[in-house]
């Protein structure tokens, strides 16, 4: 049984081989004609006909033609799409329908073709629209960060502008044109060529298509890379504020600025000076705000790095001063030049002084009698009004010179002298014997009242001093 099955398979295989050989022989002897098709790109001829009329075109639909040809079976493998050329002549444009007839010609292997080739699609659809030519000044977009301590400078382009031509609808989408330069890590000047790029109104890149043409697509550039130097800004303030006010400082959004330039130019610039003529506070009764353009104060051969910091707001701080009265005990006043022949006793238990300064400075000021001194070396027996010496920090202004009354008593050696002197001192003091080592202070809401009070105290003291002399 197994031998019969194997014998059948062998017969079947032999039959198949015989049939193939018979078919091959028939084909080689008969060589029938077959029809083939290829897709061929359609070329446009005589475009200048439209251009001369200010028009351009766009192909609608397929941009290829299906070419049909006849060839013997044995030669079919020799025919390729490159053997044909399909074209549409714009001089044949039918403006009503926008159709142009497609024509086909044979380029190669024409001897194998039985008949002239034909196209299944006899026309190609064309849409025309006005042609626009527009000039664009080229811009530069810098990408990347230069090496540390360096900044990009000026860029020179050649050409600096281009003319772009194409369909009005596509040219209208172009808002600007330029190139991009990558400066990542650079520390020296750059030069080279960059591809022309188109942008829309939002700065996005555009790909307008092959119908948009420009004078050139490669733009030459030269980019300078400059050294960066950070220098401080010196604000020089001039003038004096109104009486009763004090200039307390300068506030600015920046205190230093980065400048760029050649190393030789930067070497001579160590600070940017804003002169006092531009920062005047004469007669000011409050803060003065000035707008400063830093470009006006730097040398011509350097420039400000980046786009920020060129215009700044400067505030000149002017604050109102406060008058405050301080009352201190005279018991601790330091007397110099005392004589052993006299005894010195304070007639006034306390003395008041008027000090002018900023509120926060007055709050921190502490005064005691020990801070005062007086020279009594020239005094003789009697009651005198003497000026007190008192040194204040320059932040404080002493509005009235303090003075006090003092009793100079001659020392007697006889019995009862001390009691007699004590009675005279008590009579001169008018019963005022309060002696304390501390001080009190009164904040004057009205500085004029405080000044008058201090002056009123000083005038009788001066009169007493004259009488004592």
CATH of the domain at 205: 2.170.120.40
Q: How confident is the model at residue 25 (pLDDT cuts 50, 70, 90)?
A: low
Alpha-carbon dihedral angle through residues 433, 434, 438, 444, given to the nearest 10 degrees: -110
Worst-scoring range by mean pLDDT, 156-165, 312-321, 431-440? 431-440
- Maximum mean pLDDT: which of 26-40, 296-310, 345-359, 425-439: 345-359
Domain identity same for 181 and 114? no
Q: How confident is the model at residue 445 (pLDDT cuts 50, 70, 90)?
A: very low
- Which of 275, 293, 320 marks a domain boundary? 320
Report whether 212 contacts 188 (CB < 8 A).
no
Q: Residue 423 to residues 115, 428, 429, 466: CA-CA distances in angstroms?
A: 157, 9, 10, 24
Please indicate, yes or no, if residue 217 is contained in any of the structural domains: yes
Looking up tokens 């009691």, which residue turns up? 419
**Whole-angstrom Cα distance, residue 34 to residue 325?**
124
Report whether 108 contacts 82 (CB < 8 A).
yes
Q: Encoding tokens for residue 2? A: 């197994």
Residue 273, sorted as left (phi over 0), alpha (psi -120 to 50) or beta, turns out to be beta
Q: b or e along 2-17 (b: 16 or more beta carbons within 10 Å of the residue's beta carbon)?
A: eeeeeeeeeeeeeeee
Domain identity same for 1 and 59? no
Q: How confident is the model at residue 309 (pLDDT cuts 50, 70, 90)?
A: low
Interval 38-64 mean pLDDT: 88
The closest of 256, 274, 262 to 301, measured between CA atoms, is: 262
Please indicate, yes or no, if residue 429 is contained in any of the structural domains: yes
Predicted pLDDT at 455: 41
Predicted pLDDT at 192: 94
Please indicate, yes or no, if residue 292 is contained in any of the structural domains: yes
> Which is more confident, 198 or 262?
198
Please indicate, yes or no, if residue 349 is contained in any of the structural domains: yes
Interval 206-220 mean pLDDT: 88
Interval 305-321 mean pLDDT: 84
Check whether 464 has a pLDDT greater than 70: no
Report whether 91 contacts 131 (CB < 8 A).
no
Domain identity same for 385 and 427? yes
Domain identity same for 93 and 214? no
pLDDT tens-digit map of 398-438: 888 778 889 999 987 544 444 444 444 444 444 333 333 44
- Maximum mean pLDDT: which of 56-60, 225-229, 272-276: 272-276
- Give the CATH number of the domain where residue 93 resides: 2.170.120
Predicted pLDDT at 1: 53
pLDDT tens-digit map of 95-152: 778 889 999 999 998 888 888 898 888 889 988 889 899 999 999 999 998 988 888 8
Domain identity same for 247 and 265? yes
- Which of 83, 100, 121 marks a domain boundary? 121
Domain identity same for 326 and 458? yes
Please indicate, yes or no, if residue 363 is contained in any of the structural domains: yes
Domain identity same for 174 and 278? no
- Which of 227, 262, 279 marks a domain boundary? 227
Q: How confident is the model at residue 180 (pLDDT cuts 50, 70, 90)?
A: very high
**Whole-angstrom Cα distance, residue 153 to residue 224?**
5
Domain identity same for 349 and 460? yes
Mean of per-residue pLDDT scores for the chain: 82
pLDDT tens-digit map of 55-110: 888 888 888 999 999 988 888 888 899 999 999 998 888 877 888 999 999 999 88
Pairing of strands 382-387, 322-329: unpaired
Residue 150, beta-bridge partner list: 227
Check whether 450 has a pLDDT greater than 50: no
pLDDT tens-digit map of 183-210: 999 988 899 999 999 999 999 999 887 7
Domain residue limits at 175? 131-227
Check whether 460 has a pLDDT greater than 50: no
Domain identity same for 303 and 328? no
Check whether 271 has a pLDDT greater than 90: yes
Please indicate, yes or no, if residue 250 is contained in any of the structural domains: yes
Q: Residue 165 to residues 19, 90, 450, 452: CA-CA distances in angstroms?
A: 66, 19, 85, 88
**Whole-angstrom Cα distance, residue 220 to residue 160?**
9
How many domains is the chain built from? 5
Domain identity same for 144 and 101? no
Domain identity same for 349 and 443? yes
> Which is more confident, 61 or 22?
61
Please indicate, yes or no, if residue 187 is contained in any of the structural domains: yes
Q: Encoding tokens for residue 178? A: 């330029």
Predicted pLDDT at 401: 72
Q: How confident is the model at residue 27 (pLDDT cuts 50, 70, 90)?
A: low
Q: Encoding tokens for residue 319? A: 């604050």
Domain identity same for 217 and 331? no
Please indicate, yes or no, if residue 126 is contained in any of the structural domains: no
**Whole-angstrom Cα distance, residue 33 to residue 19?**
22
- Maximum mean pLDDT: which of 28-37, 177-186, 413-422, 460-469: 177-186
Is it true that the peptide bond before 159 is cis, omega within 30 degrees of 0? yes
Predicted pLDDT at 279: 94
């Amino acid at each position: 049984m197994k031998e019969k099955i194997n014998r059948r398979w062998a017969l079947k295989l032999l039959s198949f081989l015989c049939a193939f050989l018979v078919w091959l022989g028939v084909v080689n002897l008969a060589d029938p004609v077959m029809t083939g098709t290829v897709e061929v790109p359609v070329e446009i001829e005589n475009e200048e006909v439209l251009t001369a009329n200010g028009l351009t075109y766009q192909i609608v639909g397929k941009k290829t033609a299906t070419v049909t040809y006849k060839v013997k079976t044995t030669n079919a493998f020799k025919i390729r799409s490159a053997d044909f050329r399909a074209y549409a002549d714009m001089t044949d444009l039918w403006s009503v329908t926008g159709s142009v007839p497609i024509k086909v010609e044979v380029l190669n292997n024409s001897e194998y073709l039985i008949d002239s080739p034909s196209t299944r699609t006899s026309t190609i659809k064309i849409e025309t629209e006005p042609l626009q030519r527009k000039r664009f000044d080229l811009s530069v977009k810098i990408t990347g960060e230069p090496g540390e301590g360096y900044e990009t400078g000026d860029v020179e382009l050649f050409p600096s502008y281009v003319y772009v031509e194409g369909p009005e609808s596509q040219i209208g989408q172009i808002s600007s044109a330029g190139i991009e330069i990558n400066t990542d890590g650079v520390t020296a000047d750059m030069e080279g060529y960059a591809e022309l790029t188109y942008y829309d109104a939002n700065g996005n890149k555009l790909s307008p298509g092959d119908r948009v043409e420009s004078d050139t697509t490669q733009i030459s550039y030269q980019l300078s890379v400059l050294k960066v130097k950070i220098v401080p800004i010196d604000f020089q303030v001039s003038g004096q504020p109104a009486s009763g006010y004090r200039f307390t400082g300068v506030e600015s959004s920046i205190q230093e600025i980065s400048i760029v330039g050649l190393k030789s130019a930067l070497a001579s610039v160590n600070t940017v000076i804003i002169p006092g003529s531009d920062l005047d506070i004469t007669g000011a009764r409050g803060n003065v705000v000035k707008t400063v353009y830093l470009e006006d104060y730097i040398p011509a051969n350097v420039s400000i790095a980046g786009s920020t910091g060129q215009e700044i707001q400067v505030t000149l701080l002017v604050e109102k001063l406060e008058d405050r009265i301080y009352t201190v005990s005279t018991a601790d006043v330091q007397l110099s030049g005392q004589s052993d022949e006299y005894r010195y006793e304070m007639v006034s238990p306390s003395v008041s002084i008027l000090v002018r300064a900023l509120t926060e400075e007055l709050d921190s000021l502490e005064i005691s009698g020990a801070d005062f001194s007086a020279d009594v070396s020239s005094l003789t027996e009697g009651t005198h009004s003497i000026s007190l010496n008192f040194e204040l920090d320059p932040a404080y202004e002493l509005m009235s010179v303090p003075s006090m009354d003092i009793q100079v008593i001659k020392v007697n050696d006889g019995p009862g002298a001390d009691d007699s002197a004590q009675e005279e001192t008590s009579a001169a003091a008018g019963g005022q014997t309060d002696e304390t080592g501390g001080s009190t202070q009164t904040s004057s809401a009205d500085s004029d009242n405080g000044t008058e009070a201090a002056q009123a105290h000083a005038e009788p003291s001066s009169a007493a001093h004259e009488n004592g002399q």
